[in-house]
Homo-oligomer: A and B are copies of this chain.
Amino acid sequence: MTPVERAQMAMVLEVTAYPKPGNVDRCHDYEGTRLEHFLASAIFARPALEKAARGEGGIGEILREAVRLTTVHGGGNTHFGAFILLIPLLRGGDIPGAVRAVQGSTVEDAVTFYQAFSLTKVRMLPGDPLDVSDPHSLEVIRERSMTLLDVMDHSKEHDMVAQEWVNGFPLTRKAAGFLHESGCGREGVVETFLRLLSAETDTFIVKEHGPLVAEEVRKKAAEVLDGRRDLAAFDSECIARGINPGSTADIIIAAIYIALGEGWEWDCSRKV
């Protein structure tokens, strides 16, 4: 499997893993965003992922291309957070390489990142001076000479994907370890998802529903792991309440990419 195929497989394996609380999965769509949109993004993103792996172009520019290639459909943003993690991982080859890649990010990367962001409908925090819907943000970035890593540092408090950039991809590393421990295939992905969700508050849920709901979800995920709560019922509850652990999903994708490169087996039927 090439690194780009690993990235595409990571996107496919995350979204088809089932049952998985709250997110689009094999048997659940969201209104307007369907399984097919996620699978299409995994196919359409390939030229941008190839560029990242070949070392062509800046990270911000590649991110903008990945978003441009994958917002052709009507399903809205599917993989923006995942691309933010996958592109430096593809550029660097592994986590230490990705850390070097994000440390080398430039002001130009920050500018193109904002252009990518404005193609999506990802929510920013109200009143943020770097709000992407505010054209003034680009001036602020240039005035302050902020690199893309500086922008991530600015956002890290409220965004676990940004934290990965700033802190050296610790949750990606941790979740890749969970995959190795949890075992092959779909069942391994589901257990890893629950383990990460029970260990870390999902910042996407915080943005959408506030910190109390996010903490409630974290505790309930822990109860599912302990056998004190039914996974299918938890999944139904999350879907009914529109609770979507989207940042956890982004980190799981990055973790699958890493774990596949370390020999984690996506295909249980190949195991002896």
Binding site for B on A (CB under 8 A): 1, 5, 8-9, 12-13, 16, 26-27, 32-37, 39-40, 42-44, 46, 73-75, 185-186, 266-271
Contacts and interface: CB of A to CB of B under 8 A. Distances in A.
A267 B75 contact: yes
Nearest to A39: B12
List the 10 closest A-B pairs by CB distance, nearest first.
A74-B269, A74-B270, A73-B267, A12-B39, A8-B43, A27-B27, A74-B267, A32-B269, A5-B43, A16-B35
A26 B39 CA distance: 12
A107 to B, nearest CB: 33
Contacts of A33: 269
A77 to B, nearest CB: 13
A266 B9 CA distance: 21
29 contacts: A5-B44, A8-B43, A9-B40, A9-B43, A12-B40, A12-B43, A13-B36, A16-B35, A16-B39, A26-B27, A26-B35, A27-B27, A33-B269, A34-B269, A36-B185, A36-B186, A36-B266, A36-B267, A37-B269, A39-B39, A40-B266, A40-B267, A43-B43, A46-B46, A73-B267, A73-B270, A74-B270, A74-B271, A75-B267
A36 B8 contact: no
Nearest to A25: B26
A82 to B, nearest CB: 16
Contacts of A35: 16, 26
Nearest to A271: B74
Contacts of A268: 74
